Amino acid sequence: MKKPTNAIDREIESSLSTGIRKRLLLHVCCGPCAAGVLPRVTPHFDVTLYFCNSNILPKDEFIRRLDALKLLLTHFTDVKLIVAEYNPQHFLQIVQGLESLPEGGARCAECFGMRLGETAEYLAAHGDEYDFFATTLTVSPHKDAAAVNAAGELAAENFGVKYLSSDFKKHDGYLTSIRLCKQYGIYRQTYCGCGFPSAARHDGDVSPPATQPRT
Ligand code: SF4
């Protein structure tokens, strides 16, 4: 059998062989990505979702994505949810000067670092409640799993906690996301989170730039 190449797959194998369920703090970006990941992890871990996304603009969209996640969780009733503070000004400070870069570049690396850093910080403060953390971000075909995992590893190192690298696109993660969103009527957003790049966006224009679901 092929050896697992990332930490989450190794922990799943370990759970299968020992029968032990460890406690996973799972950073979650939205309902659609959670839909692609929860069927993979809930059979093996006790999962708590950490919705930590000050990058989502505007606030109405943040609330809409959170509501979509809550709707999904009516189908995963053993999964707990924690909502972190929403602080878009902090995000805008972090990405200042990087707004015009295309998605996938330095702005996104900062964004991953902010969200996974806050998740690692939360884990460090509640270390007796969880064994490690991971993120749903790697299920998206728009995200480079290596860049996400690099941010997760750095955050873990900074806060002295354990991060599980992943590529949730494997095992049909993205297809599962699309299927469950359709089945449960989960809202699929049309843009990543900040809506950059767009020359006008920084002066308060945060209207969504696209019209088709992309998660
Ligand atoms: S495009 Fe997405 S990942 Fe990149 S900075 Fe914006 S919200 Fe963050």
pLDDT in tens, 145-164: 999 999 999 999 999 999 99
HEC string of the chain?
CCCCCCHHHHHHHHHHHHCCCEEEEEEECCHHHHHHHHHHHCCCEEEEEEECCCCCCCHHHHHHHHHHHHHHHCCCCCCEEEECCCCHHHHHHHCCCCCCCCCCCHHHHHHHHHHHHHHHHHHHHCCCCCCEEEEHHHHCCCCCHHHHHHHHHHHHHHHCCCECCCCCCCCCHHHHHHHHHHHHCCCCCCCCCCCCCCCCHHHCCCCCCCCCCCC
Ligand 1 pocket test target in 52, 62, 107, 115 with most atoms within 8 Å of CB = 107
**Average pLDDT of every residue of the chain:** 93
Q: Whose CA is nearest to atom 7 of ligand 1?
A: 193
Q: Is 108 in the pocket of ligand 1 (CB under 6 A)?
A: yes
Mean pLDDT of 106-124: 98
- For residue 39, report the distance from its CA to the centre of ligand 1, in Å: 25
CA distance 134 to 84: 16
CATH top class, domain 7-203: alpha beta
The domain ranges of the chain are 7-203
Q: What mean pLDDT is predicted for residues 60-71?
A: 98
pLDDT of residue 166 exceeding 70: yes
- First-to-last alpha carbon distance for the chain, in angstroms, is 31
Q: Span 76-101, mean pLDDT?
A: 97
Sign of CA dihedral 31, 109, 91, 125: positive
**Is the confidence at residue 3, as pLDDT, over 50?**
yes
| pTM as predicted | 0.93
Quote the ligand 1 centre to 56 CA distance (angstroms): 8
Q: Is 34 in the pocket of ligand 1 (CB under 6 A)?
A: no
- Phi, psi for 104 (deg, rounded to 5): 105, -5
C-alpha 95/C-alpha 103 separation (Å) is 12
